[in-house]
Chain A
Amino acid sequence: MTLIADRPGPGAARPYRFPPVVRRTAAGGQVVAAHLPGQNLAVALLLLDVGAGQEPVGKEGLSGVLAKALEEGTAQRDAAAYALAVEGLGTALSTGLDWDSFQASVVIPVDRLSAAVELLAEAVRTPKLDPADVRRVRDDEATALRMDWANPGPRADAALRADLFGAQNRWGRPMHGDPESVAGLDVEDVTVFHSEWFLRPGTLIVAGDLDRIDLDALAAAAFAGTGGGPAVRGGPIEVPLHSERRIILVDRPGSVQSTLRLGHPSPHRAHPDHVAMTLAGTVLGGAFTSRLNHLLREVHGYTYGIRGDFAASRRFGRFAVSSGVQTAVTALALVEAVGEITRTQATGVTEDELEVARSWRAGQLSVELQSPRAIASALTTLVVHDLPDDYHARLRESLLSADVDQVSAAAATHLHPEALTLVIEGDAAVIRADLEATALGTLLP
C-alpha cells in the first residue's frame, strides 16, 4: 500500500489575534477601524442606524428604492457622471440592508480610498432624488422584485415570515418588500425617509492599512452636513409560538422540486443562550456534516442540500430550515426533516457532533481574518450589537468551551418542533394529498 494509514494530528496551534481596533469620535460621527498592515485593499463602510424595521408597514422596500436612487445623480453631478467617477476609481457603491441597519460601502486599493469615500458620502448625503428618477427607480425595483419572485423561494419565505410574525407587523413582511409594496411607493415616501434617516451621522467602518489612511479626513467627508441623534431602539419583541404545527402550501404548478421552508420564532441576538443556540443549530443544520444534510442528502438523496439555523436581529429571531427536494419525495423529506428536529430537541447533541460544531465555528473565525471585507463585516457586528473590541476572541473561547449539557439544553429550550410552520412551495396538484397524509399538521387553506 502506498498510502499512509495513520491520520495526522494537528500541529502547533496558531494564536487567534483579531486586528487592533481603533474607535474614535470625529467630525460629529463615530469611526471604528481595524489596522491591516501591508494590505493593498481597503474597505470603507458607512453604517446607518436604520434598517428594514424602521420602514412603515405597507412601505416595505422603501430602503431598497432609496439605495438605488442614491446613484441617480447628486447635488454635484448627474447619474452618468457619478457612475464614471466611481467606476473610474475602480470601485462600485455597494449597499445592503438588514432588519437593524443600512450600509453603503466601497472596496478599493488603499491609495484611492479617500476619493471613494467622498463619492460615497456625496451619494448618501446629497442625492438629487429628482421625482422622475425616483419613480423610474421604483418601477425598476418593482420589476426586479417580480423577476426575483418568479424564482422558487421568495414566496415561500414570505409565507413563513407572515405566519411566524404576523403580516400586520413590519417584521412579519419581507425584509426587501414585495413587487406590490414597492410599486405602491411614492416619491415623498422616499424623500422623507432619506431626510429622516440618511442625514444622521452613523458610523464609519474602515478596514485597511491605517498607516496609509487618514481616518479624520475620511470622517470629515463621511459626516459632512449631518445631524441628529441615534435612533431610539425598541426592546426585544415577544413573539408567541403557535399552539400546533401547521402546513402552508404555495402552489407552483409544474415544479420539478418542492421548496421547503420550516420555522418558528426564536430569541433575539442579545439572548444569553446565543452561543449555545448557534452550536445546536450547527449540529442540526448549519454545516455540511449536520444531521439534516446527512440524512436527507447523504442517506436518502432527496436533495442537493438542506440547511437550518437560528438567526437573530436586535429585536427578534427565528429558527428556520430550507431546502429544495425532488417533487416525488416531498412528503417523505418533510417527515424526515421534522423527525430530525424533534429528535434533536428531545435528546440533544452528542460530544462527537459538538466537537465538530465548535471546532468549525471557532476555526472559521481564524479563516475569516483574511480579507478587508471580512474584517469590515466583523466590525459591523461589533457596532450593530454594541459589542466590545475583544468580542471575537471571547466568542472563540465561548464556542470552544461550550459543553454537551449547555448545547443540549439550548436545543431543548429553543427548538419547538410542535410549533413549526411548514411551508412547501411546489406543484400542489401533485403533492397535496401526500402532504395531508403525513398528518404532520393542519394544512391551511
Chain B
Amino acid sequence: MPDSGYPWPIQTSRLDNGLRVVVSEDRTAPAVAVNLWYDVGSRHEPAGQTGFAHLFEHLMFEGSVNVAKTEHMKLIQGSGGSLNATTNPDRTNYFETVPAEHLELALWLEADRMGGLVPALTQETLDNQRDVVKNERRQRYENVPYGDAWLRLLPLLYPPGHPYHHATIGSMADLNAADLATFQAFHRTYYAPNNAVLTVVGDATASDVFALADKYFGALPARDDIPPAPDGRNVPATGQTAVESVSADVPAPRVYIAHRSYPFGSPGYNVITVLATILGSGRGSRLYQRLADGERIAQPDLVGAYGVDLAHAPAPLIATATARPGVSGERLAEGLADVVDELATVPVTAAELDRAKALLSTGWWRQLSTVDGRADLLGRYTTQFGDPARIAEQLPALLGVTAEQIAEAAADVLATDRVTLTYLPEETS
C-alpha cells in the first residue's frame, strides 16, 4: 500500500470568476469523471422552503439556454455516459462519467446550466418536477417501513432554526407552495462560479481541462454577495434525553440511538468513524457479537452504526438494531444502549482497533477505485476545506486513531443529549 491516501496527481486552478478547477489524471481506463460541487444544500433553506434545494437539483436537468428540455440526459447517455446528482444538507453535486472523448460536451452542458438556467425555467417544468419529487418522497420515505426514520431523527438532534433541523426532501406542504420566482432567485443566488468546484478525474490532462474550463465557464459572472447558511456549529447541550416511540406498520421493533458528535473533517470525526466501525460494521463488531450472536435479541443483517458525514455542525452518530421475533422494543432498546454505553467504559482492544482500520482501509481504496469516486472526494475536500490535497491525509488520519482517543470521544459524545427513536408494530403497541 502507498503511504499516501491518494497516490494520483492533483492539479488545481482558479478562474478569474472564482471557479475552482481540480484535475487528477489517470489513464487506466478511457473514461473521465466530471463533478460539480455547489456549496448550497438544504441547510440554506429558510422556514417554509424545505425541500427547495433538492427540487432545484431536479430542475437543473430540464434544459437551459442552449440545451432543450430532456436534452441533457439524452446527450450524456447518447455519449455512453452515466450521470446523476444528489442533494444533502451541506451541498448539491452534479456528476457524469463519460468516455474520455466526450469531456468537452460534459463541460459545455455543465456551463450552460450554471450560467443559463433561469431563462429556460418554466412553470410547466416546475409543476412536473414537483410531482416527480413528491413521488420520490412517497417512494423513499412514506411507503416503506421505517422509511421516515431520518426525517424523525433530525428534529430530535437539532433544535428549530438549526440548519440541520429539517430533512433535505422537505415537506409536502412546502413543495406544494413552491413558486417559480423563488427558484429563479435560488439559481441567481447560489449557482455562481465562485460558489462551485469543478473536478475532472481520469483520462485527461490538466492543461487541457483548465483551457476548456476557461473556454466554457470563464465568462460567467461571479456573484459577490452569496448569503451564508445559518451558523450551526454550536448546538447547546440540553442535558436531556429525547425519546420518541412510533407505532407504525412495521414488521418488527427497531431502535435508533443517535448523538451529535463532531463535524466531518475534524479530528474528532475521524475518531467517531473508527468508533462506529468497531461498534457496528461487520460480523466482528460489538453490536453483532453482543446483540445478534451473543444475546440473540437482534436480527443479524440489521445491526449497524455509522457517522453521517456532515461538515457544518456536529454530525450525527447513529446506532441501530431490529428485534428478533419475540423480543420487545424495550428489551432491544436496553440491549442496544448497553453496548453503546460500553464504548465509554470497556476499553477498545488492539484486535478491535486493527479490524476497524483494516476495514476502513479497504473501504477507502474501494471508494477511490473509480474515477467518479475520486472526483466526488476531491470536490468535497476543495469545497469544505479549501484544499483538495487534504484528501491524502484522510486515510493516514484514520489509521492514526488510538484507543485512548476513542474512549475520550465516547465519554464526550455519549454523555448527554441522547436521542432514542423506537418503532413498534401497530398491533403490539
Contacts and interface: CB of A to CB of B under 8 A. Distances in A.
A3 B66 contact: yes
A109 B66 CA distance: 46
Given A14-B203, A108-B362, A364 B82 contact: yes
Interface in B274-327: 282-284, 288-289, 293, 296, 299-302, 322, 324-325
Interface string A361-405: 111111101111100000000000000000000000000000000
Interface string A1-33: 111110111111111110000000000000000
B2 A40 contact: yes
Contacts of B301: 140, 144
Interface in B106-134: 108, 111-112, 115-116, 127-134
A355 B359 contact: no
Contacts of B138: 256-257, 304, 324, 326
A284 B407 CA distance: 56
A299 B128 contact: yes
Given A7-B66, A304-B139, A366 B31 contact: yes
Contacts of A356: 74, 77-78
Nearest to A375: B29
Interface stretch (A55-63, A215-223, A286-294, A335-343): A286-294
Contact of A370 (B73, B322, B369): B369
B31 A367 contact: yes
A439 B118 CA distance: 43
Contacts of A369: 28-31
B104 A256 contact: no
A10 B79 contact: yes
B73 to A, nearest CB: 5
Interface stretch (B141-149, B154-162, B230-238, B239-247): B141-149
Contacts of A304: 132-133, 135-136, 138-140
B354 interface: yes
B223 interface: no
Interface stretch (A81-89, A159-167, A233-241): A81-89
Interface stretch (A44-52, A147-155, A190-198): A147-155
B14 interface: no
A359 B78 contact: yes
B331 interface: no
Interface in A345-361: 355-356, 359-361
Contact of A91 (B131, B203, B216, B362): B362
Contact of A80 (B112, B284, B361): B284
Contact of A11 (B103, B115, B140, B322): B103
Nearest to A37: B28
Interface string B84-120: 0000000000000111111111001001100110000
A254 interface: yes
A4 B108 contact: yes
Interface string A262-301: 0000000000000000000000000111000010011111
A11 B104 CA distance: 8
B19 interface: no
Interface string A241-258: 000000000000011110
Nearest to B324: A143
A143 B136 contact: no
A419 interface: no
A4 B219 CA distance: 9
Contact size class for A? Answer: 35 or more
Contacts of A256: 138, 142-143
Nearest to A1: B65
B78 A360 contact: yes
B211 interface: no
B271 interface: no
Contacts of B142: 256
A90 B100 contact: no
B80 interface: yes
A367 B98 contact: yes
Given A90-B358, A324-B139, A356-B78, A7 B105 contact: yes
Contacts of A150: 145, 250-251
B80 A83 contact: no
Contacts of A445: none
B106 to A, nearest CB: 10
Contact of A71 (B80, B127, B220, B283): B283
Contact of A3 (B112, B299, B369): B112
Given A147-B299, A289-B73, A2 B221 contact: yes
A423 interface: no
B352 to A, nearest CB: 9
B282 A83 contact: yes
Contacts of B370: 370-371
B366 A41 contact: yes
B252 interface: yes
A150 B145 CA distance: 7
A359 B325 contact: no
Contacts of B354: 88
A303 interface: yes
B399 to A, nearest CB: 11
Contacts of A364: 80, 82
Across the A-B interface, the 10 shortest Cβ-Cβ residue pairs = A363-B80, A301-B131, A90-B358, A14-B30, A83-B283, A356-B78, A2-B219, A90-B362, A150-B251, A8-B104
19 contacts: A1-B65, A2-B220, A2-B221, A5-B66, A9-B105, A10-B105, A14-B30, A16-B30, A92-B282, A143-B324, A256-B138, A256-B142, A289-B78, A298-B70, A300-B131, A356-B78, A363-B98, A366-B30, A366-B80
Interface of B: 1-2, 28-31, 65-66, 69-70, 73-75, 77-82, 97-105, 108, 111-112, 115-116, 127-136, 138-140, 142-145, 203, 215-216, 219-221, 249-252, 282-284, 288-289, 293, 296, 299-302, 322, 324-325, 351, 354-355, 357-362, 365-366, 369-371
Interface of A: 1-5, 7-17, 36, 38-41, 71, 79-80, 83-84, 87-92, 107-109, 111, 136, 139-140, 143-144, 146-147, 150-152, 254-257, 287-289, 294, 297-304, 324-326, 355-356, 359-367, 369-373
Given A140-B299, A300-B131, 12 more contacts: A10-B101, A90-B361, A92-B359, A151-B145, A257-B143, A289-B74, A289-B77, A360-B81, A362-B80, A363-B81, A366-B30, A367-B82
